[in-house]
Amino acid sequence: MTSSVWEAVGLTEAEYRKIGEYLGRDPNALELGIYGLMWSEHCSYKSSKRHLETLPTEGPQVLQGPGENAGVVDIGEDIAVAFRIESHNHPSAIEPVQGAATGVGGILRDIFAMGAQPIALLDSLRFGNLDTPRVRYLFEGVVEGISWYGNCVGVPTVGGEIYFDDAYRDNPLVNVMCLGLVEKDRLVLGKAAGTGNSVLLVGAPTGRDGIHGASLLASREFLEEPEDMRPAVQVGDPFREKLLIEASLELLQGDAVIGINDLGAAGLASACSETATRGGSGMSLDLDQVPRREEGMTPYEVMLSESQERMLVIVEAGREAEVYRVFEKWGLDAVQIGEVTDDGALSVYHQGQEVARIPVTSLTEGAPVYDRPMGEPLMVRETVSEDVLPPPDYNEALLTLVGDPNLCSRRWVYEQYDHMVGINTVVYPGSDAAVLRVKGTQKGIAAVTDGNGLLCHVDPYRGAARVVAESYRNLSATGALPLAITNCLNFGNPERPEIMATFSDVIRGMGDACRALNTPVTGGNVSFYNETQRRSVYPTPVVGMIGVLDDVNKYGKTGFTTLDNPVVLLGDLGTHLGASQYLRVTQNQIVGPVSEPNYELERRMGTVCREGIRRGWIASTHDISDGGLGVALAESAALSSEQLGANIALPNDPRPDVSLFSEAGTAILVEVFSADIEEFLERARAMGCPAQPIGQVIPAELLISHKDFGLLVNLPISKIRQSWEEGLQ
């Protein structure tokens, strides 16, 4: 039970005193509620801010860095891509269908609030092991929620990742990324400027759902009965969201709008204070004007409701009718609820009375910032033993790996998502990254989300750096030049010094990798308190990276295409089995080390890959990551539409199991057209990237041999495909 007014809204006594200093008096209940939301971890980033400030956020390609509804990068020809990733972890744990669905809705609004047409969604999902009915329920519910909402709004879900581990049993992670296209000079920002301009609330009416979602749900650990929190979860309506997208983008074709902002976490309280802060203004609101779903709502409920499918629009005074006309056409509410003021205060009126008056910046920039104490970071110091035995049967080991829920085909999931609507999807889910065309140009956009909690659990600094490097590699393998990232940082309770230290290491690793690979961070989201009864999730930074292809007709994708083509290993394989899926799956071991990424090689390899694809030398590609070279070969065979495999001779290393299953290297598997192989190898060497022919494409089988150990793997493709396809069913 809570014992004080501040605890009831999730604040500390010191924070309560600080509110008193800002106001020069004690807050009333409504004001305290607003502070509780705005100063929650979820909204204020109070524990993470100091660390996030160390990340690189600038570059010539960056048009908008962190702090807006979404980051924006320039892809040339006056076209910009707005993109961001966000978590909806806690709601999804309590009500998976609605939790995941409203996660999709929220991130879509962040994108079209920039004036961008959403063109793609990607999801990074993590659950416990699939062996309990509750985990199955969460997993299937989340997939259903994404499918229901995403398919209905008509934005394709083109990629993502799924991982299962007991560390996520009570705290599943649901991270959703969206990207959208906008002409550079039509970018819109979420700001309220110009005294006397009108503040309009558009979209759905306001109800009692989702009150305290950001403070009591997203900014605390779970106690024993998470179901009790269901009323804090919002309910989505994708049909209304679709209309809201259409209406908002139509409205933004004109020039009446000063700024537009999503109503998400902390509802009106957050949208109003954020837009006023960005505009250096104040705002006065008349709550009696807010359209409601139910009668008798208090000002507290109206200000803090997280009802979905709403936007705040700041429009030039006198031009409100332009908004009404567009929204009426789309069957949506649009009501003036206030105006921009010059007094720097958020003033709230209800039945003619002022019921709250708060200095706007005290809610935003003035929120507390903490240097939380840091202990020793959590990591696994034990390293893989020299005498870990090779598998007794390589065929068996490879089939087990490709059938593991973490490595097998994700088809069961992505076929429930409409990944084609919009007719831009060029490379479908299942390859290293999605590729979308940009209509009206030759260009393509590649996008990927990637995380690896296991690596970061073993070594947070190197693990996070490798996640960035792998995303970079994924994009290189499609032929794209990586441009920037958005991040979703999923951690346990930051008030625990060891969690905070781990967080700090992850941010350092991510920052170093982003600097080395020239992929600045344009924004994202932090989700703390992913723990239940002191059992935290793995530290799980998820990276959403986007890149650009100058010619969308020239891209790399996975799956052998042509008989007799040489198969080439670009880059270097790893030299140990630390933190590998192979050790986890076949030996039940989670041990280090995690190797530092080789940024120099990563960049060179990317250049070689991009050039090989652009020149038409490369027939197919697959990055080598989870499951190592063995799984990369098996997937390239399983994804071959021609039922092609390969005959591979492993490098002459005394440990073929390490060559096949290490995840510590920097390597991409490429299939090169026979006629181009000499030119390709020469070019790779000239660019200082190791390129080693290791075999060729053959019909129907995967054969892997080693000079000293003979034939190790000898599997028909049909058998690989069967294990790989059935892993999730």
Just list the catalytic residues: 42, 88
> Mapping DSSP to helix (H, G, I), strand (E, B) and coil, where does residue 56 land?
coil
Alpha-carbon distance of 338 to 340, in angstroms, equals 7
Contact positions with other proteins (CB under 8 A) in 273-302: none
Alpha-carbon distance of 531 to 170, in angstroms, equals 7
Sole binder of other proteins in the list 12, 253, 553, 718 (CB under 8 A): 553
The residue among 202 and 384 lying less far from other proteins, judged by its C-beta, is 202
Min dist CB 728 to other proteins, Å, is 13
The residue among 22 and 412 lying less far from other proteins, judged by its C-beta, is 412
Min dist CB 331 to other proteins, Å, is 6
Per rule CB under 8 A, is residue 552 in the interface with other proteins? yes
| Beta-carbon-side half-sphere exposure of residue 138 (alpha carbons within 13 Å) | 26
**Crossing angle of the two packed helices 677-686 and 599-614, in degrees rounded to 10:** 150
Contact string (CB under 8 A) for other proteins, positions 401-430, x = contact: -------------xxxxxxxxxx-xx----
Min dist CB 329 to other proteins, Å, is 9
Per rule CB under 8 A, is residue 441 in the interface with other proteins? no
Per rule CB under 8 A, is residue 624 in the interface with other proteins? no
> Mapping DSSP to helix (H, G, I), strand (E, B) and coil, where does residue 200 land?
strand
Per rule CB under 8 A, is residue 309 in the interface with other proteins? no
Contact positions with other proteins (CB under 8 A) in 188-247: 237-240, 242-243
> Mapping DSSP to helix (H, G, I), strand (E, B) and coil, where does residue 125 land?
strand
Min dist CB 259 to other proteins, Å, is 26
Alpha-carbon distance of 209 to 228, in angstroms, equals 14
The residue among 146 and 356 lying less far from other proteins, judged by its C-beta, is 146
CA angle 505, 511, 517 (to 5 degrees): 135
Min dist CB 240 to other proteins, Å, is 8
The residue among 74 and 418 lying less far from other proteins, judged by its C-beta, is 418
The residue among 38 and 152 lying less far from other proteins, judged by its C-beta, is 152
In this structure, what DSSP letter does residue 615 have? T
539's tokens:
């530290």
52's tokens:
């996030």
Residue among 623, 604, 615 at smallest CA distance from 670: 623
711, β-bridge pairs = 705
State phi, psi for 168 to the nearest 5 degrees: -105, 15
Per rule CB under 8 A, is residue 153 in the interface with other proteins? yes
Alpha-carbon distance of 558 to 435, in angstroms, equals 12
Contact string (CB under 8 A) for other proteins, positions 322-361, x = contact: --------xx------------------------------
> Mapping DSSP to helix (H, G, I), strand (E, B) and coil, where does residue 183 land?
strand
Min dist CB 425 to other proteins, Å, is 7
Residues 6+ apart with CB under 8 A from 512: 465
Min dist CB 442 to other proteins, Å, is 10
Outline where 294-348 has alpha helix (H). Answer: 299-304, 320-329
Min dist CB 250 to other proteins, Å, is 12
**Crossing angle of the two packed helices 497-517 and 460-478, in degrees rounded to 10:** 30
The residue among 156 and 544 lying less far from other proteins, judged by its C-beta, is 156
Contacts 24+ apart (CB under 8 A), 58-64: 58/520, 59/484, 59/518, 59/520, 61/483, 61/484, 61/520, 62/484, 62/520, 62/522, 63/184, 63/187, 64/114, 64/187, 64/189, 64/522
The residue among 191 and 242 lying less far from other proteins, judged by its C-beta, is 242
Which residue spans within 503-592 are E strands per DSSP?
521-527, 531-532, 535-536, 540-549, 566-572
State phi, psi for 593 to the nearest 5 degrees: -85, 175
Q: Is the peptide bond between 593 and the residue preceding it cis, with omega within 30 degrees of 0?
A: yes
233's tokens:
């979860």
Min dist CB 139 to other proteins, Å, is 13
| Beta-carbon-side half-sphere exposure of residue 531 (alpha carbons within 13 Å) | 17
How many residues line the site for other proteins (CB under 8 A)?
A: 29
105's tokens:
């809705």
Min dist CB 147 to other proteins, Å, is 5
Per rule CB under 8 A, is residue 432 in the interface with other proteins? no
Min dist CB 79 to other proteins, Å, is 17
The residue among 357 and 554 lying less far from other proteins, judged by its C-beta, is 554
The residue among 143 and 468 lying less far from other proteins, judged by its C-beta, is 143
Q: Please state, as a whole number, how many other Cβ atoms lie within 10 Å of the Cβ of residue 114.
A: 28
Per rule CB under 8 A, is residue 437 in the interface with other proteins? yes
The residue among 385 and 553 lying less far from other proteins, judged by its C-beta, is 553
Residue among 583, 659, 592 at smallest CA distance from 388: 583
The residue among 329 and 615 lying less far from other proteins, judged by its C-beta, is 329
Residue among 496, 12, 532 at smallest CA distance from 227: 532
Footprint on this chain of other proteins (rule: CB under 8 A):
147, 151-154, 237-240, 242-243, 330-331, 414-423, 425-426, 437, 439, 552-553
